[in-house]
Amino acid sequence: MPKAVAVGVAIDIGGTLLMSFAAALIYSVVLGVRGLNEEAIAAEFQQMQPWSMFGVITGSMGLAISAFAGFQCARIANRNSYLAPGIMAMISCAFGAALSSGAYSQAVLIVLSALSVIAVLAGAFVYLRTMQR
């Protein structure tokens, strides 16, 4: 089970960080093509809200990665329980909360964490349903 949790956390955190970096790079290029200078692009990212179009798109992609991580965690654990994916979700949420410390209000952080937990457990649910067949 520790291997399943470690792999799930690595997929979730690593995949989300890579996807976020790629999305930010692409968005920076788009803003640059629109004529914004470096300071304006930096200001755009500092003012970004999780419910902006960019935030919703990257958040959705992050949730898809979390669901995949939950699926893989459950697959590697090879048990018919949510223990490993639950532990994985808790670690991922703690890491996300630490990374976004001060960036979001407590209410927003709770909503984002809850969405992440739901995505991880949904991925595990898909695996567990296929395992029962």
Q: Is the pLDDT of residue 121 over 90?
A: yes
Structure tokens at 97: 């909360």
DSSP state of 129: H
**Helix 53-77 vs helix 83-99: angle between axes, to the nearest 10 degrees?**
150
User: Quick check: 101 pLDDT over 80?
Assistant: no
Mean pLDDT of 81-105: 91
pLDDT-derived band at 47, boundaries 50, 70, 90: confident
Q: Is the pLDDT of residue 133 over 80?
A: no
pLDDT value of position 36: 87
Q: Which helix (H) or strand (E) holds 109?
A: helix 106-132
Q: What is the pTM of this model?
A: 0.90
